[in-house]
Structure 1
Amino acid sequence: MAGLVEVLYSFCIGQPLRPKISSPVELGSSIKVVSELTGLPLGTLRAWERRYGFPQPTRPEGTNRRLYPSEQVERLRLVARALKQGYRPGDVMSLSSAQVLALVKSETEDRAAPRGRAIADVPALLDLLVQDDVKRIEDELRLAAAALGAKRFVTELAQPLAVAVGKAWSEGKLAIRQEHVMTECLTTKLRALLSSHEADEGAPLVVLATLPGEPHTLGLQMVALYAALSAAKPRLLGANTPAAQVAAAARAFGAHAVGIALTPAADPVSARQGLKSLARALPPTVALWVGGSGARGLGKLPPRAEVVDSWPTLDLALARARKAS
């Protein structure tokens, strides 16, 4: 009867009945809400839609809003859990929610530390390195990344560990092979985390490299992951890259900043000359950052170069570059 009354009322006032529209809650959640619920960046969600065909938001008729059904949000939560445990998007994106859930449960049971056990700290990992126990090192790094989260893993474990390993090697407490093993273990873990958290869309875009004569890239890997976790887009060029090629990459990629890493082993004269050449070759709108433990030992830098050698100063530099981009 109520339906007939609505039809008669509509006929009398000369206006067609409006179809009942489902509420936003019934249709799904916005991309911003999904990002907050899952911890996945907006750019990552959009990139996965293009690359993997999931998630698949709906667009209600007459709007451009992207709404994600609740079942997709739940699956994204499970995918996010899998990524924190070290899996890559390609490993889990084709799996059903039930399969991902089984995977993360199994991984948690296999990798969970015994009750009361602390995450391995720097001294414990150094002891394992002295014992050449690479398998345990890999296990402990994976557990630490899952427990701490990617950003804390970088700032609270990976960076202090790298410094401690370098110091122990310089004091003759570690062999070169052991220093190399830990570097590779950390690099492998950092690259896996970067693959899991990097989004196609990010700002600012930062080109990261070392100049000729500087072969060490572990610091670049840490900065790249930290930048990605801060919604920036890192582009790694690697070690021993000529200044002219760094500048060419910055132009080709449309970079907002270039970061150059230096260790204390770098030759100061060569490093200053390379930075001067790079400063001249870079477009005037591109910021030039100099980081690493050897940055402050260079003395006078080109006027446009900025020392960025700590996580707080990197946060500030990223914020300025993002605002200018």
Structure 2
Amino acid sequence: MLGVISVEAPGLSVGAVARRLGVSASTLRTWDRRYGIGPSRRSEGSHRRYDPSDVQRLEVMNRLIMQGAPPGEAARVALGEEGVRERAPRAHGAGGNRLALSTVPDRTRGLARAVMALNGPVVTETVREAVARDGVIPAWEELIAPVLRGIGERYAATGEAVEIEHFLSGTALAALAEVRPPSPGAETRPVLLACAPEEQHSLPAYALGAALAERGIASRMLGARVPERALRDAVEKIGPGAVFLWSQMAHTGDVGVLERIPGGRPALRVIIGGPGWERPLPEGVRFVESLREALEAVAEALGVPD
């Protein structure tokens, strides 16, 4: 629990308050914008500053969130709209600063705690060590994916934690990017990795890219929200041996995009993953349910031995 912060005029900047409270500056700005709990003072340069009463309210809000209150309720309490309680009710089991995880290893719970605290160095190092020790797929299945599911469940229950998902995706991606790609001159054609048009959730595609690199298979990453025309142009320019497309959200999984991917010689294998794809799928398109299955499907399409 944090103690009362002593603030001297002319007040503290958002960065200074974020460091003292142990949250990110973007979180403070979100609280200000969404709940009206922000700085009330301006410096001579018109920069907004937090005075002692502002910081004390933020301490109350932060403490209640850590104890399990939804941010909106915590803000109302901190602003004096309700009496401050020693312990706020938990939000549908979301656990305040915890994620509702099923039976998982201690290191997975440790990663979840670091993610909820927005502790970038710890998250990056935890993922990096897991990849180096166990490989990309075990690190994904046993460490990253369970935490992502926990974040998704929290969002479904409370509407919160979008910033937590973005934070984990960014930090995990940095660690996965350290997996060395194969050296130039690989005999197999590369794999083209992309997200469906308008799909912004790209971490699974990057994880597959890291798993392919670990396996010695070259890939080309187009990233999130790839327009259909750009996808077709990339296929024609690169001549990949396989294309992997990810769709997380239902409105992004248009199977018509799959039907219009140019063919190739030898035949181009189209592999898709994610819960967003429509059904039925076009003939010849393979749907995979896991990162491990995606890696196996790509290797099979390229004729890469185990």
TM-score tier, shorter chain, comes to 0.5 to 0.7
Q: State the match for 2:263 in structure 1.
A: 282
Of Structure 1 and Structure 2, the greater helix share is in 1
For structure 1, the 5+ residue unaligned runs are: 1-118
Alignment check: 8 A CA contact 1:120 1:144 kept:
no
Alignment check: 8 A CA contact 2:181 2:216 kept:
no
Q: State the match for 1:171 in structure 2.
A: 157
Matched residue SS, 1:192: coil
Say whether 1:237 aligns with 2:222.
yes
Query: C-alpha displacement at 1:216, in angstroms?
Result: 1.3
Please give the per-residue CA displacement for 1:146-188, whole angstroms capped at 9, x wherever unaligned: 3323443234323333333333333338522222111111111
Q: State the match for 1:217 in structure 2.
A: 202
Write the letter of the residue equivalent to 1:277: R
Q: State the match for 2:177 in structure 1.
A: 191
Q: State the match for 1:271 in structure 2.
A: 254
TM-score, with length taken from structure 2: 0.58
Alignment check: 8 A CA contact 2:181 2:218 kept:
no
Query: C-alpha displacement at 1:232, in angstroms?
Result: 1.4
Write the letter of the residue equivalent to 1:303: E
After superposition, residues 49-88 of structure 1 pair within 5 angstroms as none
After superposition, residues 11-22 of structure 1 pair within 5 angstroms as none
**Higher alpha-carbon Rg:** 1
For structure 2, the 5+ residue unaligned runs are: 1-104
Query: C-alpha displacement at 1:249, in angstroms?
Result: 1.2
Please give the per-residue CA displacement for 1:93-127, whole angstroms capped at 9, x wherever unaligned: xxxxxxxxxxxxxxxxxxxxxxxxxx853222222
Alignment check: 8 A CA contact 1:205 1:256 kept:
yes
Write the letter of the residue equivalent to 1:317: A
Alignment check: 8 A CA contact 1:244 1:277 kept:
no
Alignment check: 8 A CA contact 1:130 1:174 kept:
no
Q: Hey, what's the Cα distance between the residues in 2 that align with 1:318 and 1:216?
A: 21
Say whether 1:291 aligns with 2:270.
no
Distance 1:152 1:197, change over 3 A: farther
Superposed CA RMSD: 2.8
Alignment check: 8 A CA contact 2:191 2:242 kept:
yes
TM-score, with length taken from structure 1: 0.54
Matched residue SS, 2:216: coil
Say whether 1:258 aligns with 2:240.
no
Between stretches 233-242 and 147-156, larger displacement belongs to 147-156
Q: Hey, what's the Cα distance between the residues in 1 that align with 2:122 and 2:215?
A: 30
Q: How many residues align?
A: 200
Matched residue SS, 2:271: strand
Alignment check: 8 A CA contact 1:120 1:140 kept:
no
After superposition, residues 153-168 of structure 1 pair within 5 angstroms as 153-168=139-154
Match of 2:128 among 119, 134, 142: 142
Matched residue SS, 2:250: coil
Query: C-alpha displacement at 1:259, in angstroms?
Result: 0.6
Please give the per-residue CA displacement for 1:207-230, whole angstroms capped at 9, x wherever unaligned: 011122211110110111111222
Say whether 1:300 aligns with 2:280.
yes
Matched residue SS, 2:158: coil
Query: C-alpha displacement at 1:288, in angstroms?
Result: 0.7
Q: Hey, what's the Cα distance between the residues in 2 that align with 1:130 and 1:283?
A: 45
